[in-house]
Amino acid sequence: MAEPVQEELSALAAIFCGPDEWEVLSRSETDGTVFRILAKAEGFMDADIPLQLVFHLPVNYPSCLPGVVVNSEHLTRAQCLTVKEKLLEQAESLLSEPMVHELVLWIQQNLRHVLKQPETGSGSEKCTSTVSTTADDGLWITLLHLDHMRAKTKYVKTVEKWASDLRLTGRLMFMGKLILILLQGDRNNIKVPTV
């Protein structure tokens, strides 16, 4: 990992030092680094909206765009996708320099304006699953939120088998009652989930 990226990760860990604000989900010399930032941004009527932002910094970052997953129980799926698109547009103007903190600051200051724009999708379901891509459109990341799990051992084996069959890598995370599956793999093996 390049020194500027290590410095950026250290700075982010120092900035987002509150409880559960920062977590490194995976780190690899070949696939890059995936981490989660929990932040609050000002939405409509000055209400703070909690955002979960998962960033994937590929090995050649910052000369290419990071992968971004946006999740919030207070936003619809379409709003989450709009926020992600606007973050990636902003990231294009910051290529070749560390940009994650700038992106988080930008969305914290501009979420209200982003939400005022008409949504590109339809439906009012909560944003519990979004898909993100890196610049080369080959490696994709998806974050799935499960509402419950009855037979944990059997379910874990099933998810492992599916991931293996589809040649995906990932992590199954149990955080209290919150169950998340973070998968990454070839774009052709990940489909945009529908509800």
pTM above 0.75, yes or no: no
Would you say 55 and 100 are in contact if contact means Cβ atoms under 8 Å apart?
yes
Domains, the chain, with CATH or none: 3-116 (3.10.110.10), 139-190 (3.30.1070)
The mean pLDDT value for 191-195 works out to: 52
Helices 100-116 + 77-92 axis angle, to 10: 130
Q: What is the pLDDT of residue 136?
A: 44
**Residues of the chain above pLDDT 70, percent:** 83
Q: What is the pLDDT of residues 107-150, one digit of tens each?
A: 999 999 898 866 544 333 344 444 444 444 556 777 778 777 77
Type of residue found at 160: E
With CA atoms as reference, report the closest residue to 69 among 79, 57, 56, 78. Answer: 56
Q: What is the pLDDT of residues 46-69, one digit of tens each?
A: 788 999 999 999 989 988 999 999
